[in-house]
Structure 1
């Protein structure tokens, strides 16, 4: 049992079972033992690889998207260029390098802001980005940023925010909680949900549930989307959100833990494994529509990157490389935009929002549903 598992078990013995969202936040963000507080999750030596780690092409295309969105908004100056959850700073570094090379006037107008809660990751991000000699500042919350036009990117952000799970027992919805078994190990149990919750859940579902059906809700994700939507509606700008998940609300248990690039038991070693779940893009998109913003279809990442010129960029990079380098480029394209096993092209989705209509992908793409 990990130190954090013992800490969680003590809390449960004292206060009773806890909701999955409470367990999630302890497992990932506990100040002393949380996964993002104490471990290096990213890259081949960590537990998972994100798109910016796969190839510089991902960040370059996102940088080009930001530049084009900025132009379609009339080239506001100054403006905030923000990333929420910047990881190790790899994506922002590739974006800044692209803007410096292709659209220097956009970069000159930008105030770079990194929205990061982890002090450890913030220090790593600043070390990576310090070479750009730009007004880069870390903030802990979106609310801490200046009130200026905002262009922001969030890659694999929403999946890190906690979910709650509810199971239909044939008569009503019960919340999945975490308790302590007689053996001392953590286990899932079903608790009573709030009396008003069954009606709230039923109003959002496409059909009546069968016994055993699971619904996932994430107030934290919807709150973040609402905060961003209000900022864009008041100050103008655009947002690009990339994550894995589904375009429409439905049933299903998508909770998973990742350790050493492999699936693990979510309750086995809190603090030493990442927790994640599929993002419900229908729920995420709702606050942006309610704020009166232009909202794109939910599009596959593969279609999005190809529409931005992934193959053309790969060709230009490959022309400067030997056969081994070209093969690495081809593998990166397949990983980012392919549809097979361990490929990101279909599993990952893209949603864009803007305070004014844009002609950029994923606007205009067919999307899902």
Structure 2
């Protein structure tokens, strides 16, 4: 489970013009001689010095996926390390217990069976990590011969070359070869050699096959997608407007002039290098970890993002009147889930899809119904750290806006419905996690250590306490919608497995 940190102090970017000139001159002189925590931090600071502060989304994108020092794209190039597991930076549910992946495989089969799908099936996972989740899913699904007979291709959306190799070894075998293909790379599944596994760097490279039913799994994927942060502020420039005077009237007493307060505006939070002076103070004050190289400032004027994104939903407008309120919006997340919806249910206009089919299962952490705020976090070696420290060597994430995702899916396609989000504890319990754990414990025989590991791992996944994952993590499903059929609740979301 990824850690959290306290909200960072913010700075307002408006300064007297002579201060700004001095600060920019000093920063341009210092950026080349100052000691930065990572090479990526240095290159980002130099770029910002030239072009100005950047949105949080741009900062996250560079830190996570920059080909020269990004967290996911460069990790493991010089060593065999990866971000996952006990020796990495964080641990995910599939790494904690094999039962997690088995139940996701069972959910996929149950949904395929409930929809009575007769077409071919594409299984798609975004951000497969080490491949553990897909491996546990396939090991479970191979027991259902009809489903495996309909499975035409497996797609893995992975930007890291190092992780692709790790996934290839686990899912295809140590001696399997990774071949180049039109979409990216491919190999053969060890559980079913006639099924191809294809790796692509982005979901846009997965063809929208209208003849196939897509089953899409996104586990802890959306939390790593870039976010924009906005703050509600009272405009500082021209905050009041004096009454108009004309040449025919005497100039009024300034004390009697009427003042009209401007309404609040959304201003974008931008990333800027910490000043050299503040960097020295931070280095002396920081005792828990490395001092941040960057900080958040409030844009002194509206930006294109602040003028567009918060206006896309009434949810944001209701918060605007609260001065100092922060909201987080991920347009990439909204666009991606809209793509899921169109693949499953067809587009609003001009869709070639014969009828809705398939499913998307999203498992991640974030609030069920509220707008995420102050959730940007960094984690390294299982400990919280500033997301603005050690750029490229820290995992950066933010809460997922589940309600925003649901709205985006429903707006994108008339052929889908959304179920959830529900707490992970409820979802996994409904899928039979305790019963499966009891089976594995029974198979362990007299090995008390194996029994203990099984017991503690499955309980951690459903524990609703502060140290567990059962309450913080949520599950949400996007399924086909048929106006002429009775509403069906899927298994895990209040429904039962059809017999």
* TM-score by shorter chain over 0.5: yes
Counterpart selection for 1:81 from 106, 117, 123: 123
Aligned length: 364
Q: How many angstroms apart in 2 are the aligned matches of 1:207 and 1:17?
A: 25
User: Structure 2 unaligned runs (5+)?
Assistant: 1-36, 76-81, 173-189, 235-263, 280-292, 347-352, 482-486
TM-score computed with the length of structure 2 as normaliser: 0.70
User: Structure 1 unaligned runs (5+)?
Assistant: none
Counterpart selection for 1:46 from 61, 79, 88: 88
Counterpart selection for 2:49 from 6, 13, 19: 13
Match of 1:282 in 2: 403
Match of 1:360 in 2: 490
Match of 1:94 in 2: 136
Q: How many angstroms apart in 2 are the aligned matches of 1:126 and 1:355?
A: 32
1:202–1:62: structure 2 CA closer, same or farther, 3 Å change rule?
closer
Match of 1:169 in 2: 233
Deviates more, 1:309-318 or 1:37-46: 37-46
Question: Shift of the alpha carbon at 1:358?
Answer: 4.5
Is 2:442 aligned against 1:306?
Answer: no
Is 2:362 aligned against 1:237?
Answer: no
Q: How many angstroms apart in 2 are the aligned matches of 1:238 and 1:116?
A: 20
Give the secondary-structure state (helix, strand or coil) at the position aligned to 2:468: coil
Is the 8 Å Cα contact of residues 366 and 372 (structure 2) preserved in structure 1? no
Q: How many angstroms apart in 1 are the aligned matches of 2:205 and 2:66?
A: 22
Match of 2:315 in 1: 204
Q: Deviations over 1:117-152 (max 9, x none)?
A: 222222221111003233211123333334021111
Match of 1:190 in 2: 298
Counterpart selection for 1:71 from 113, 118, 141: 113
Counterpart selection for 1:150 from 214, 226, 235: 214
Is the 8 Å Cα contact of residues 266 and 307 (structure 2) preserved in structure 1? no
Q: Deviations over 1:289-312 (max 9, x none)?
A: 221312102100010000000010
Q: Deviations over 1:254-311 (max 9, x none)?
A: 0000111011011111101000010010111112222131210210001000000001
Match of 2:381 in 1: 260
Counterpart selection for 1:180 from 261, 273, 276: 273
Counterpart selection for 2:163 from 101, 121, 129: 121
Is the 8 Å Cα contact of residues 337 and 344 (structure 1) preserved in structure 2? yes
Give the secondary-structure state (helix, strand or coil) at the position aligned to 1:305: helix
Q: How many angstroms apart in 2 are the aligned matches of 1:136 and 1:164?
A: 34
Moved over 6 A (4+): none
Q: How many angstroms apart in 2 are the aligned matches of 1:94 and 1:67?
A: 13
Q: How many angstroms apart in 2 are the aligned matches of 1:150 and 1:182?
A: 49
Q: Deviations over 1:61-114 (max 9, x none)?
A: 00000011111121334210111111111000000000112x122122212111
Q: How many angstroms apart in 1 are the aligned matches of 2:339 and 2:215?
A: 14
Is the 8 Å Cα contact of residues 428 and 492 (structure 2) preserved in structure 1? no
Structure with bigger helix share is: 1
Q: Deviations over 1:177-223 (max 9, x none)?
A: 11123216322111133373486177223545422211101111101
TM-score computed with the length of structure 1 as normaliser: 0.94
Is the 8 Å Cα contact of residues 166 and 216 (structure 1) preserved in structure 2? yes
RMSD, aligned α-carbons:
1.8
Is the 8 Å Cα contact of residues 70 and 76 (structure 1) preserved in structure 2? no
